[in-house]
Amino acid sequence: MSYYHHFVIPFTAGLLFLVIVVAAKWIIWIKGLNNQQKRQVKGNIFTKKSLLATWEVLAESLFHRKVFKKNFLLGYMHMSLALGWFLLIAMGNLETRIFTHGQLNPPYVPIFFEFFEHDLSTLRYKEIFTFVMDFLLLFVLSGVALAYFKRATSKPLGMKQATKHAFVDKLALTSLWLIFPLRLAAESVTAGLYGTGGFFTRWLGEAIAPLPAIDMLYYPLWWAYSLSLGLFFISVPFTRYMHIPTETLLIFLRKYGIKETEKHTSYTQVELNACSRCGICIDSCQLSSELGISSSQSTYFLKSLRDKKATDYLTETCMLCGRCDYSCPVGIENSTIRLNQRRESPATGTSFGYVPAIEASKGKIAFFAGCMGQLTPSVTRATLALFDAADVEYTHIDKDATICCGRPLQVNGEENAARELAQKNKQLIEGTGAEALVTTCPICARIFAESYELSIPVYHHTQFLYQLAASGQLKLAPSNNLITYHDPCELGRGLGVYDEPRELLKFAGNLVEVKSSKTNSLCCGGSLAITSINQQQRNQMARKTLQSIGANDVDFVATACPLCKKTFTAASDENAILDISEILVKAFANTKQSSKPEQKQTAKETSTVN
């Protein structure tokens, strides 16, 4: 039996176009990967990782697990559309397969089966199929209804701002929104005329059947349904809907271990195209929520880069705090892509020829306070006092004169300039013959760990002090103070150090965990990666952050970054903002007074940041 009618052409042509374009893009992207990345694909494709990736594709692309986590209604909307549509296609295929006794049908047959076949009496499990197909259609339509609703007002779906879309996106959106109502209309009219359909389309069909000239709508509706499908498919490669096929590829590549490097690669293209422009990143950005700068967030930046139109404004108006990397349901490395874009066109040449070779005395542990450390001498003093208390043999390598670590230049895209400073500092560090490098500044720690290629381990002071405290080398006695901890961006999201500072604080008092912590922690506002916001704006952000971590309800706000400390202190007269080391010094002093039994804690695996 063969099924055909001219109205299937728009659908079939659209589908063919989409398949060809997506296949071509995938091939171009995979071919464009660098050699290292290609090796990762080859080495992992026939392993368990592909299975895991398949599972993740199902969980994310069909069930939208991460969107569910963000907001139930938003998750339901995405899931009903994706999963519902997928099941409609799958069930439709199964239905026609069974009906035609396993015959291979052109792709349009299951889609328009209600049109082609009015007598399903020979279909096995007919009742089940017709019920399920109607049920699934309603399921999808509920999602479409929510989508209409979201356009009208996005608040109930947990989003303050919805992305502003371009014209072709709107065209695609309209055709997508029309597909399922048109399917319902076409199937209902058919059901009214020929007695087909399931519980819902039959009921609706019979209800509208007495209307005059309803049979005149029969062909136009099937044409319209096919056209809306075809239009949507053709628009996919030119719109944000390209994220649907691209996210699948992204999930596989990521499972094979591919990450952003220090340069754009074709993996970046995959990420750019995998952005659904959902706009979740806008709400997570403090530039938007605190300062009302709502036009530079990742969704806009990625789009501009995808269209090869990234402006300085978009590239530079970002604190690189990394919050949106973690809130993005697709898991796009937004801040790394933005940083790499800055690296593409650094401001201009710098000249550091004036910097002499710097030397420091030898020691077992090289301690670096950094520029920010020089502005917060109390932190350096406290840390060194703790070193002394634990008999650490150290050399303070930037005690007298030193240069910047290079991270501020790096985050502003001036990679070569940063490397020049890094080279000088590397000589300084290696010249001390130290076995480890410890710094109180997460900004320095990040570049030491990621770009210096040192042969010795790098520790942030919270990691190093935790080892000392946990092994009992540093004796501490806790007080009854309530302490809350603020995760610095560079230390937390940047270097993944979340636990040691917390464990360390438990040696000193009672730790109060806040809601926006760890990957979700807020930026203090001091970020060196943005220069276009002024001090008043930074203060405003800092006050908000202090408020949200409940600074007024605790005795101390502890942080582990001298820049956070400076920024918070400048913005607030009321709160005591201390570096962990300063709090620990108090806990050390307690050991002299109290005779409390010392707290026992087992040391966990020693971790470094590099």
Task: Note the residues at the interface with another protein (CB under 8 A).
Answer: 347-352, 354-356, 371-372, 374-375, 401-404, 406, 408-409, 412, 414, 417, 421, 528, 531-532, 534-536, 563, 566, 570
304 near ligand SF4, judged by CB under 6 A: no
Q: What is the distance between the alpha carbons of residues 179 and 175, in angstroms, rounded to a whole number?
A: 6
- How many residues appear in the chain? 610
Q: Which one of ligand SF4, another protein, none interacts with residue 535, CB within 5 to 8 A by kind?
A: another protein
Residue with smaller CB distance to ligand SF4, 193 or 355: 355
Cβ 347 to another protein, closest distance in Å? 4
491 scored as a contact of ligand SF4 (CB under 6 A): no
From the list ligand SF4, another protein, none, which binds 153 (C-beta under 5 to 8 Å, kind-based)? none
**Nearest distance in Å: CB 34, ligand SF4:** 23
Cα separation, 19 vs 12, whole angstroms: 11
**Minimum distance, C-beta of residue 526 to another protein, in the bound complex (Å):** 8
H helix runs in 438-478, sequence order: 442-451, 461-470
Instruction: Name the residue nearer to ligand SF4 (CB basis): 202 or 486.
Output: 486
Q: Which stretch binds ligand SF4 (CB under 6 A): 50-58, 95-103, 296-304, 389-397?
A: 296-304
Closest CB 570 distance from another protein, rounded Å: 8
44, 50 contact by CB (below 8 A): yes
Instruction: Determine, following the binding rule CB under 6 A, whether residue 306 of this chain makes contact with ligand SF4.
Output: no
Find, among 486, 495, 515, the residue nearest to 583 by Cα: 486
What residues numbered 310-349 form the site for ligand SF4, per CB under 6 A? Answer: 318-324, 328, 330, 332, 334-335
The nearest distance, CB 335 to another protein, in angstroms, is: 18
Q: Which of residues 250-289 bind ligand SF4 (CB under 6 A)?
A: 275-281, 284-285, 287
Residue 401 partner contact from ligand SF4, another protein, none using kind-dependent CB cut-offs of 5 to 8 Å: another protein
The binder of 351, among another protein, ligand SF4, none, by C-beta within 5 to 8 A per type, is another protein
- Which H or E run contains 392? none
Ramachandran assignment for 242, one of left (phi > 0), alpha (psi -120 to 50 degrees), beta (any other): alpha
Q: Which does 318 bind (CB under 5 to 8 A by kind): ligand SF4, another protein, none?
A: ligand SF4
Separation of alpha carbons 426 and 303, rounded Å: 38
**Which listed option, another protein, ligand SF4, none, makes contact with residue 349 (CB within 5 to 8 Å by class)?**
another protein
**What Rg, from alpha-carbon coordinates, does the chain have?**
30
Least separation in angstroms between CB 428 and ligand SF4? 17
Task: Say how many CA atoms lie within 13 Å of 210 toward its Cβ.
Answer: 2
CA dist 77 to 86, 237, 294, 549, 584, Å?
Answer: 14, 22, 25, 32, 49
- The count of other CB atoms within 10 Å of the CB of residue 496 is 12
Q: Which is nearer to ligand SF4, 294 or 590 (CB)?
A: 294
Q: How many residues bind ligand SF4 (CB under 6 A)?
A: 26
Task: Please report how close the Cβ of residue 471 comes to ligand SF4 at its closest, in angstroms.
Answer: 37
d(CA 332, CA 324): 9
Taking the least distance from each CB to another protein, the nearer of 85 and 568 is 568
Q: Return the one option of another protein, ligand SF4, none that residue 528 interacts with (CB less than 5 to 8 A, by type).
A: another protein
- For 23, counting Cβ atoms within 10 Å of its Cβ (0-12 exposed, 13-18 middle, 19+ buried), the class is exposed
CA distance 447 to 455: 14
| 369 is an interface residue for ligand SF4 by CB under 6 A | no
CA angle centred on 404, ends 400 and 410, rounded to 5°:
170
d(CA 597, CA 585): 18
Give the separation between CA 497 and CA 487, rounded to whole angstroms: 9
Question: Which distant-in-sequence residues (6+ apart) come within 8 Å of 212 by Cβ?
Answer: none
User: Which residues of the chain form contacts with ligand SF4 (CB under 6 A)?
Assistant: 275-281, 284-285, 287, 297-299, 302, 318-324, 328, 330, 332, 334-335
